[in-house]
Amino acid sequence: MNHFPAQSCGLRRALLAAASALMIAGCGGGGSGPAAPVAGDVVNVSMLNSPTGVEQAGATRKLRYLMTGVDGGLTQANALLFLPRGTAPAGGWPLTVWAHGTTGVSDGCAPSRDYAQLGDSDVVAPLLAAGFAVLAPDYEGLDAPGVHPYLVRDSLGHSIVDAVKAAQGLGEVSLSKRWAVLGHSEGGFAALAAAQFAGELGAGRELRAVVALAPASDLAQLTDLNFAALDSLTAAGEADSAAHVVLALNYYGGMIAQGFRAVLPGVAPEAMFGSRVSPFLAKAESDSDCNQYGMALTQDFQSFVIAGGDMRAYAGVKRDWHQNAPVRDFLARNRVGQMRLRAPVFVAQGLADLEVHPAATATLVETLRANGNQVTSVTVPDADHQAVVAAQLAASIAFVRERMAAP
């Protein structure tokens, strides 16, 4: 597979423009050069063998496309496009986007590199079986230029919206202009972000449904709720659950600290963390197998607890990291659900979730409704952060199918 980096594309365009100018000069004619690149342009498309777990796909393509990056300029990103078997219905395959949860912030954590290991075949396969094409973006910075702006609304939203434009613009693929977006955790946040930017696609491309499963939402509120849960669980002697919360706070916090470098270059990641975890933060970005940061964090935390340390005093992510003025101002702008979206929303939350606190999702649902959105909200009493996906996947697909078919 040949990918042309941005510099190569620019050189190629320059050469084409120069050749065109010479031809025009030689013929005495006039005209214009190649169109300027825009978000949603396809840089490269390659055919792939369908990965393990998604063998029933009729075809799998990898798209390299241009998107609006976190800095407002154009950058490149990747997405996989899975097509059902058989012949597309009249109007094309209805398109769903699956927005993945946290894989990491290093290039090695891009799902398109190895979807069998890093992707969500257990979601893609049922969507294909239901007759949907499935677009699975990596997000900005994953196996692409720059750092991954983890949980940055504008970046995630454009990663999806511009991938939709790229996929629907492929001449050799028959896709409907109607689309829906589903996501879990980081992907739930991304799905809501994409809904906010869906209008940029124009009236011809219609978002019909949004599904957010255990979505990240207000990061400051989530931090406060999880630290409060840590305190109460520790006081109650529920050590295993308390440890889970500590590791979640620091694991996801490390991703946030690395990703926020793209939007808050003046705030060092180490300013958000205590002395024990700060030395591990760089591992998140250089993590070749997406396990090194998590393993280093887990091993250090275990050593701390074995030595008799109080989990509430572990010198990791700071309780007040979000009170730093630049961070606080950015987080206020970064929240999802703050406007009326272009499609009904389905939200599902497990009440046994120790990573995305159920109270944060309840606040998100209230905010969505207060802003005029039609929201179906479901809670699953015994589901943890991961289990909510399997518990509500059938309901999510039914919700999407109904909205896709609506007049």
Domain ranges across the chain: 42-218+335-405, 219-330
pTM here? 0.91
> In the prediction, which pLDDT does 105 show?
96
Q: Which two tokens stand for residue 211?
A: 């599904």
* CB 164 within 8 Å of CB 135: yes
Q: Which carries the bigger pLDDT value, residue 94 or residue 28?
A: 94
Tokens of 116: 């069998």
Q: What is the pLDDT of residues 169-210, one digit of tens each?
A: 999 999 999 999 999 999 999 999 999 999 999 988 999 999
The per-residue pLDDT for range 203-258, each reduced to its tens digit, is 889 999 999 999 999 999 999 999 999 999 999 999 999 999 999 999 999 999 99
Q: Residues 79-120: pLDDT tens digits?
A: 999 999 999 999 999 999 999 999 999 999 999 999 999 999
Give the per-residue pLDDT at 23.
Answer: 32
CB distance 43 to 3 below 8 Å? yes
Q: What percent of the chain has pLDDT over 70?
A: 92
- Give me the pLDDT at residue 328, please: 96
Per-residue model confidence as pLDDT tens digits over 369-387: 999 999 999 999 999 999 9
Q: Residue 30: its pLDDT value, please?
A: 46
In this prediction, residue 31 carries a pLDDT of: 54
Per residue in 39-93, pLDDT tens?
999 999 999 999 999 999 999 999 999 999 999 999 999 999 999 999 999 999 9
- List, in order, residues 6 or more apart from 119 with CB less than 8 Å away: 51, 53, 80, 100, 111, 112, 136
Domain 42-218+335-405, CATH: 3.40.50.1820
Count of beta carbons in the 10 Å neighbourhood of residue 292: 17
As a whole number of Å, the CA-based R_g of the chain is 22
